[in-house]
Structure 1
Amino acid sequence: MRGNELLDKLERIDPAYIEAADTAPNKRKSVWAKWGTLAACLCLVCVLAVPAMAAFSPAFYELLYAVTPATAQFFKPVQRSCEDNGIRMEVTAAYIHENTAEIYLSMRDLTGKRFDETVDLFDSYRLHTPFDCTGHCKLVNYAPDTHTATFLVTLEQWDRQSIEGEKLTFSVQKLLSGKKSWEGTLDGVDLGGSLTSATQTVQPRGLSGDLFGSDGGKSVTVLKPGDAIASPVDGVTLTGIGYVDGWLHVQVYYADILKTDNHGSISLVNRETGEQIECDGSAAFFDDAGTGSYEDYVFTGIEAYALDTYALYGMFVTSAGPVEGNWSVTFPLENTAGN
């Protein structure tokens, strides 16, 4: 091709093609390819790291369980027994039927000193499952010769699907034992001669009965604690008797309930007929330290002039405090025979 002919051909080329040819190539595809490769690597790292982190990092396991319980339980290693603070916990048997599981777990005191037939888990146990469920735990046996308590854990899945093969984690932080019960008349208490008019408004930690309305107990008026009137047992003190808005209040203080679970009830007994009158409701509230609890037991229809007719009757449960530790087992929900 001659030079003049070449120039003539070039002059006929659309300028848009020339501009396009001069533009740098689009790098978007390669950029997205790099990000895709990086994302795949991160996913691989996560898949490889999750089992190890779930196994050795309780904090990571709890975080993962909060986001996706099924994934957390999938990677949680099976561990049917554990030991801490001289106490061994072990899964001994399980019965799975449809959406319900009944699991027996033993707690054995290897020192033989820390708990007895009154032992319970002090509401410190937790259930981790890959599904939504309801569950409860109760003591079913105590063997004094081996210092072993056996608990039955029962759980039921909400959507009534089969749960066999799923994995459950059961953990405990406290055991409460050495509980003592006291029941009887509070001798030496003069109901009519011990009245106080001092009251206060508190935020209750708990209410019973229907006396305080349906507002959820945002605030209630109770007796202001006074000096000890009687102490029938260590950890339990009668601190007030008086009227609030026409209702008789009898106030009892339970020391250090977060460690002892001290609790009880108060009733009135007619000295002449022996009739026992239960309270119509109660309001409980923490002390200033947030460790002990006051409880006002409320009686309606008891006039002040008739107080001498009645004696106070109490039922109380106390303990020395808990044994603390970190016990946790993880196991598949499958039928197993007891040992």
Structure 2
Amino acid sequence: MFKEKYKKMNDSIFPSQELIEKVTHLPYREKAGRAGREKRFRRPAFILCTIIIFALTAMPALAATFPSIYDLMYLVSPSTAQFFTPVQKSCLSNGIKMEVVSAYIHGDTAEIYITMEDLEGSRIDESIDLNDSYSLYVPFDSSANCQRLGYDDAAKKATFLITIKKWGDKKISGGKLTFFVNEFLSHKKEYKDVLISKELSGLNTSSEKQRVNINGGGGPYYENYISDMDKKINVLKPSEPREFPIEGLDFTGIGYIDGMLHIQTAAENNLKKGNHGYFILKDKQGSEVTCDYSVGFIENPDVPERIDYNEEVFNVPESQIENYSLYGYFVTSGMYTEGEWKVTFVLENEE
């Protein structure tokens, strides 16, 4: 009788259609997205302070929360979904609950599903971004990434998959894991294929430059231009912001340095915004040219009014710039939420 009753409870719970549609489009990855960025973690050298953990072991709670996540697992990876086991541990902070729903530890890899749910308002939405604030304490050296899988609007709940890889191709053999988050961004706006300038040859370009310490970079040919030994490089000296269609980002420079086209944007107090994007050059036939590499640097890093600069560099001769128009893709955040969400649980290898 209990088995039949529990089956009826399970059968009545399904993920939202919006959640299913989003997951079935994986592994689509936004070109300027942040959700899949890998982070590296060294084993902790100290003991964490006491963490409030709620163990949701009652069968009704399991029926209410686990089946929808379990269905989501089958959509993402049917071949491994059956190996995930319930964890059901959560932490409440600032009216928002973070829950570790299930985990699958196999070989040198740990896959963990977590949810974040707003119990008091509408701070969580389909654009939620953990803003690289998440951290892991594990008893081994590792790398990890956190990927947003979907959002259930009715429950105001977002689902993430955390994948942890132990270094050295060594099996994860027990111990405890602590996952914690300090902040997140939400209510983002996305701007696709925005025309910035139809005629680049008509822009008032500048080649005034400065040497700065960079704090990061990327792009397909980054390593061809920037070596690990480079501490300072030449970038455009920021000018007064030009007219720009994206609120939250300033267009602070465009010009040539050493035969390469540099385009620069800036964002003030961006640690609580995460505003970002990239540019594309298009010729008259619609062919696209992306940057060879990009770099970032900071002005006034130790004050709230810090300014984060991003500079993209294109290998397009100045003699040909008249053949291109400038477009962009950008994301800006509308809400910043702080808290202290921490959950600890035991790593149990299934192999």
Alignment of 1:251-266 (within 5 A): 251-266=264-279
2:145 alignment counterpart: 136
Q: Distance in 1 between matches of 2:124 and 2:230?
A: 37
Cα pair 1:169 1:329 within 8 Å, conserved: yes
Deviations 1:6-49 (A, max 9, x none): xxxxxxxxxxxxxxxxxxxxxxxxxxxxxxxxxxxxxxxxxxxx
Deviations 1:102-160 (A, max 9, x none): 22211110123102011121111111122333322211221110101122222233355
Q: Distance in 1 between matches of 2:195 and 2:104?
A: 46
In the alignment, structure 1 residue 326 sits paired with structure 2 residue 335: no
Letter in 2 for 1:315: Y
2:184 alignment counterpart: 175
1:127 alignment counterpart: 136
* CA shift in 2, pair 1:237/1:188, >3 Å: farther
Q: Structure 1: which 5+ residue stretches go unaligned?
A: 1-63
Letter in 2 for 1:250: I
In the alignment, structure 1 residue 286 sits paired with structure 2 residue 265: no
Q: Secondary structure of 1:308's match?
A: helix
Alignment equivalent of 1:231, drawn from 244, 254, 272? 244
Cα pair 1:253 1:292 within 8 Å, conserved: yes
Q: Distance in 2 between matches of 1:109 and 1:147?
A: 6
Q: Distance in 2 between matches of 1:191 and 1:86?
A: 53
Letter in 1 for 2:296: A
CA RMSD of aligned residues (A): 2.7
Alignment of 1:69-148 (within 5 A): 72=47, 80-148=89-157
Alignment of 1:160-239 (within 5 A): 162-163=171-172, 165-183=174-192, 184-187=194-197, 190-208=200-218, 209-210=222-223, 212-239=225-252
Alignment of 1:32-51 (within 5 A): none
Q: Distance in 2 between matches of 1:157 and 1:66?
A: 17
Bigger drift between 152-161 and 119-128 goes to 152-161
Cα pair 1:192 1:307 within 8 Å, conserved: no
Q: Distance in 1 between matches of 2:171 and 2:205?
A: 60
TM-score by length of 1: 0.70
Larger helix percent: 1
Deviations 1:246-285 (A, max 9, x none): 2221222233321111111112111x22221112222221
How far does residue 165 in structure 1 lie from its aligned partner after superposition?
4.6
* CA shift in 2, pair 1:219/1:133, >3 Å: closer
In the alignment, structure 1 residue 299 sits paired with structure 2 residue 314: yes
How far does residue 171 in structure 1 lie from its aligned partner after superposition?
1.0
Cα pair 2:53 2:90 within 8 Å, conserved: no
* CA shift in 2, pair 1:274/1:172, >3 Å: same
Q: Distance in 1 between matches of 2:170 and 2:122?
A: 43
Cα pair 2:239 2:252 within 8 Å, conserved: yes
In the alignment, structure 1 residue 273 sits paired with structure 2 residue 285: yes
How far does residue 211 in structure 1 lie from its aligned partner after superposition?
5.3
Cα pair 1:93 1:335 within 8 Å, conserved: no
1:20 alignment counterpart: none
2:322 alignment counterpart: 308
* CA shift in 2, pair 1:193/1:135, >3 Å: closer
1:244 alignment counterpart: 257
